[in-house]
Amino acid sequence: MSSTFAGVTGATPAMEAGGERSRAWPHRHLLDTDVLTWPQIELLLDTADVMGEIVARRRPRSETLRGIGVTNLFYEASTRTRVSFEVAAKHLSADVVNVGVSGSSIEKGESLLDTVRTLESLGTRVLIMRHAISGAPYLAAREFGGSVVNAGDGRHAHPTQALLDLYTLRRRVPGGSLRGRKVVILGDVLHSRVARSNLWTLTAAGAEVWLCGPATLLRGFEAWAAAGVGGDRGFTASSDIGAALRDADAVMALRLQQERMAAGLLPSLHEYSARYGLTRDRLALAAPGCLVLHPGPMNEGVEIAADVAAGPGSLVTEQVANGVAIRMAVLSLVTSVSLRPAS
Amino acid sequence: MSSTFAGVTGATPAMEAGGERSRAWPHRHLLDTDVLTWPQIELLLDTADVMGEIVARRRPRSETLRGIGVTNLFYEASTRTRVSFEVAAKHLSADVVNVGVSGSSIEKGESLLDTVRTLESLGTRVLIMRHAISGAPYLAAREFGGSVVNAGDGRHAHPTQALLDLYTLRRRVPGGSLRGRKVVILGDVLHSRVARSNLWTLTAAGAEVWLCGPATLLRGFEAWAAAGVGGDRGFTASSDIGAALRDADAVMALRLQQERMAAGLLPSLHEYSARYGLTRDRLALAAPGCLVLHPGPMNEGVEIAADVAAGPGSLVTEQVANGVAIRMAVLSLVTSVSLRPAS
Amino acid sequence: MSSTFAGVTGATPAMEAGGERSRAWPHRHLLDTDVLTWPQIELLLDTADVMGEIVARRRPRSETLRGIGVTNLFYEASTRTRVSFEVAAKHLSADVVNVGVSGSSIEKGESLLDTVRTLESLGTRVLIMRHAISGAPYLAAREFGGSVVNAGDGRHAHPTQALLDLYTLRRRVPGGSLRGRKVVILGDVLHSRVARSNLWTLTAAGAEVWLCGPATLLRGFEAWAAAGVGGDRGFTASSDIGAALRDADAVMALRLQQERMAAGLLPSLHEYSARYGLTRDRLALAAPGCLVLHPGPMNEGVEIAADVAAGPGSLVTEQVANGVAIRMAVLSLVTSVSLRPAS
């Protein structure tokens, strides 16, 4: 009774945990969370638990990806996500190479597909990719023989962020389930790949999801909310921050992406902060013990007050720490498909 | 009956292959291909075969350079060459450090020789170097106690590219020999270090070499062609693309180095492409099964048509893959000289 | 009779050397040299001796920091210091991640403390940090749960440079002690973190320290010299280069930090060089065999003549080489405190 999951990687987390799995992970790439079924999400979160145990060791090291080439291809600036993937891959004993825009052929105008083919020929088996253009990782995945993991593409998707958010929430919410819990995503929804990817995972988890922000930063989402996201899953889009926060179990404040926002969407930072900043007063509207998340980097004093970011319900630090375990789980699962022997 | 080649590196490729070699590799540095004899080139290509077997393993890793400090010092932007050397060095278990222009003392105006001396004092034993100024690696080699490998200097030389081109061609040309084969190097010859280094290796291999491009981008090469390159080796320089491509066994299209080209050498990109771009129609002039190479990154639609780059004779992907094996061979051979015990 | 020093790192240098230490290292961070007692400095220099033996091995590698996350966080350009720390950490088997300004969230305006918290959550246990603002590492150390090592902050401090300078001098000065030796720090003292950190260590070693430079680049130091640095330790600040160099046992020329110097402090580079450049003629004033140091990168022909930099008393190359051993010692000692089990 062999497991698809085991693949060829030898020491998979499932095996390390000594367990056996009938649930299979079918995805060679991780481009967004929209295609993940709830059992697949649970498999990933369970795998992250195993990975978390490896991370907690004094000398965290698994042999899962020993000798496997992993490349961080980042066309946009990043500290936390790039380092998180780098640390995760090294914990799995992968050989990691970093390619950024500065100092690379990308400066010479090399095309994305040429770069992708080149990296594959150089031995890359997992391509972790951040790109300013929505959909770029899908284009890469069509060409690439290994696994592509989307580390953020334009406004579109940031699947590992959504998965680590879900993982972090589930570990903290009483009872361990988000079913029926009210989760508010607050702020610049329009430009947020984090919001989009979270929408899929949070609704899959059965949460009651509210998207809240100025009307100009919610454009299109009201119509989407009215149409639903498929099955019995739906969400609410509203500019009424009072209604959104009332009795919320968790609030995720989004970064105000000043570098992306076209002029005219907001009157001023100050007014934005006054009307939609997550302050202690506003948080008092939420349910007692309301959890607070932020994908980082934070603009403290803009979308989130410093005392809320450092407050008792804040999970910001846990999000970052859990990100390593989630990314180890993702790397392990996608390679269980892409490195499977041809047999 | 000890081999010079074995040096002190312990597990040399020759030993890994179980063979014995009487041919010795004498070069501590690899600065250009002009000083390589044909037996030395053959030794390097044979070593690359052994390295290719290591790369093909699931967990490619040789112990040849375990604990040896290798530094990538890149004063010019690069993805494929830098990553190729990094991957090659890691396959040999070296400790690799990357130093680029951005974020380094080079921004403070540190002199090249000061940087070279510093890196040696920090434990670098192999210095892989790309520099915009022709001859810079020669200057470095005069100061550096270990091995310098030229990863491209100005318009002058790019020896590992020429060696991987030769290696790729030999594996694909019927019979495995370039003797008497017509090989065309097409495009911006004037600014191309790739063309210069290939001239030495291809003529050493006995190929009939043609350099072809607009007269303004061949300046000086006609006179050189008339004088010959030494011994019975020679080449043809011509602006007649029809004559050049006729019955060619292989064509290497060069990158049109827009960032280097001084104004006035070309009327326009469009006209260049119309007259010297490698299109499917032009390729029909060549011998059946003509092989196509490009050192990358490609300007598709300028010096090479997209359908030619992806066509049946294209070796572009193989070039990149073979580059890792060639660079492993180079690192192994030069250190067999520079790490030799003083005894 | 257990040693505080041993900590939990298992193979500490003291243990590797087979010795036993009663002297304890108490500092979790290394932010400046001012807090180091002489016995602590000696412990560090002795540890560097052990580390130097590891470096001298063909495959330098200790298991001291196996699996420990070390991050180089460099907000300012650097080659030698960043690579020196990277090499040192790798020799100790640490997992090293580099974060520079370019291509990181720092470009997005992420706050220093947010970055520090993020890196800790990602598993960083030692944070090596260079920052343009004096005091920034102290701020980081207040937040960071592991060890912070200052790799240079503004004009304030550069403790590992001062320690490697002292280490290099002690190995070269006849008798191995600086007690009563005249050591001159020459040049742009005002902007030099190297001068400030050396002041503490050199006076702790009992040297007779002179700071010498144009009056505009000594501002405030005369008053400090008059007040003394505590205990019986003092130094001389003077613009009289003849008096300073007379019978000197060692001269440390400082980099003229053109990128930092506000207009108006110097008439011209040429005049600076003519009056305070360390030339062979000037060096003739010093004691026979006077040693010459420079923290690098050098502006040859400005603050130091090329023939002096390459002259018989020059320790410039040794400084760089010793820097690796010193940094290994620092990493080993600070982690012996920060990784100590809670027990």
How confident is the model over C69-93, as pLDDT tens digits?
999 999 987 888 999 999 999 999 9
Nearest to C183 by CA among C93, C286, C315: C286
Residues in chain A closer than 8 A to C108 (CB atoms):
77, 259, 297
- Over residues C10-38, the mean pLDDT reads 70
State how far residue A77 is from chain B, nearest Cα, in angstroms.
14
Identify the pLDDT of residue C108: 58
State how far residue B151 is from chain A, nearest Cα, in angstroms.
14
Chain C CA closest to residue B63: C59
State how far residue C1 is from chain B, nearest Cα, in angstroms.
35
Contact B87/A at CB under 8 A: yes
Q: Out of B57, B90, B297, name the one closest to residue A110 (CB).
A: B297
Chain A CA closest to residue C107: A77
Interface contact flag, C77 B123, Cβ < 8 Å: no
Which of C75, C79, C191, C304 to probe the B interface (max B CBs under 10 A)? C79
What value of ipTM does the predicted structure carry?
0.88
Interface contact flag, C118 A320, Cβ < 8 Å: yes
State how far residue A89 is from chain B, nearest Cα, in angstroms.
15
For residue C226, with 0-12 CB atoms within 10 Å meaning exposed, 13-18 middle and 19 or more buried, which class applies?
A: exposed
Distances (CA, A) of A332 to A20, A99, A116: 16, 21, 21
Higher pLDDT, A80 or C284: C284
Burial A171-180 (b: 16+ CB within 10 A, else e): ebbeeeebee
Residues in chain B closer than 8 A to A122 (CB atoms):
80, 83-84, 87, 320-321, 323-324
Amino acid found at C327: R
Segment among A96-110, A164-178, A208-222, B26-40 with least mean pLDDT: A96-110
Cis bond before residue C297 (omega within 30° of 0): yes
CA angle (A37, A39, A43) in 5-degree steps? 115
Q: Out of C97, C114, C117, name the one closest to residue A83 (CB).
A: C97
Interface contact flag, B99 C80, Cβ < 8 Å: no
Q: Out of C58, C79, C87, name the one closest to residue B106 (CB).
A: C79
Interface contact flag, B123 C60, Cβ < 8 Å: yes
State how far residue C180 is from chain A, nearest Cα, in angstroms.
47
Interface contact flag, A297 C114, Cβ < 8 Å: yes
Residues in chain C closer than 8 A to A93 (CB atoms):
none
Identify the pLDDT of residue A261: 59
Q: Out of B57, B86, B300, name the one closest to residue A97 (CB).
A: B86
Contact A3/B at CB under 8 A: no
Place of tokens 């600076």: C272
User: Between residues 107 and 146 of chain A, which touch chain C (CB distance below 8 Å)?
Assistant: none
Nearest to B324 by CA among B90, B25, B7: B90
Beta carbons within 10 angstroms of residue B248's beta carbon: 23
Segment among A114-123, A227-236, C293-302 with least mean pLDDT: A227-236
Q: Out of B66, B95, B122, name the one closest to residue C84 (CB).
A: B122
Higher pLDDT, C22 or C67: C67
Interface contact flag, B59 A66, Cβ < 8 Å: yes
State how far residue C267 is from chain B, nearest Cα, in angstroms.
21
Per-residue pLDDT of chain B (343 residues; tens, 9 = 90+): 333 333 333 334 443 443 334 468 999 999 999 999 999 999 999 999 999 999 998 777 899 999 999 999 999 878 889 999 999 999 999 999 999 876 566 655 568 888 999 999 999 999 999 999 999 999 999 999 999 999 999 999 999 999 999 999 999 999 999 999 999 999 999 999 999 999 999 999 999 999 999 999 999 999 999 998 887 889 999 999 999 999 999 999 999 977 655 567 777 888 899 999 999 999 999 999 999 999 999 998 999 999 999 999 999 999 999 999 999 999 999 999 999 765 4
Q: Which chains touch A (3 or more CB pairs under 8 A)?
A: B, C
- Characterize the bridge pairing of strands B235-238 and B208-212: parallel
In whole angstroms, what is the distance from residue C273 CA to residue C269 CA?
A: 6
**Residue B166, both tokens:** 């030769």
Contact A15/C at CB under 8 A: no
Interface contact flag, B67 C58, Cβ < 8 Å: yes
Contact A106/C at CB under 8 A: no
Residues in chain C closer than 8 A to A261 (CB atoms):
none
Cis bond before residue C13 (omega within 30° of 0): no
Contact C106/B at CB under 8 A: no
Contact B56/A at CB under 8 A: no
| Residue A111 banded pLDDT, cuts 50, 70, 90 | confident
Contact A299/C at CB under 8 A: yes
Q: Out of A71, A103, A121, name the one closest to residue B101 (CB).
A: A103
Distances (CA, A) of B178 to A91, A111, B34, B126, B246: 46, 32, 18, 32, 17
Distances (CA, A) of B306 to A113, B184, B245, B300: 12, 19, 18, 5
Beta carbons within 10 angstroms of residue A46's beta carbon: 17
* Residues A266, A214 contacting (CB under 8 angstroms): yes
Chain A CA closest to residue C72: A83
Instruction: Please count the residue pairs, one from chain B and one from chain C, whose beta carbons lie less than 8 angstroms apart.
Output: 82
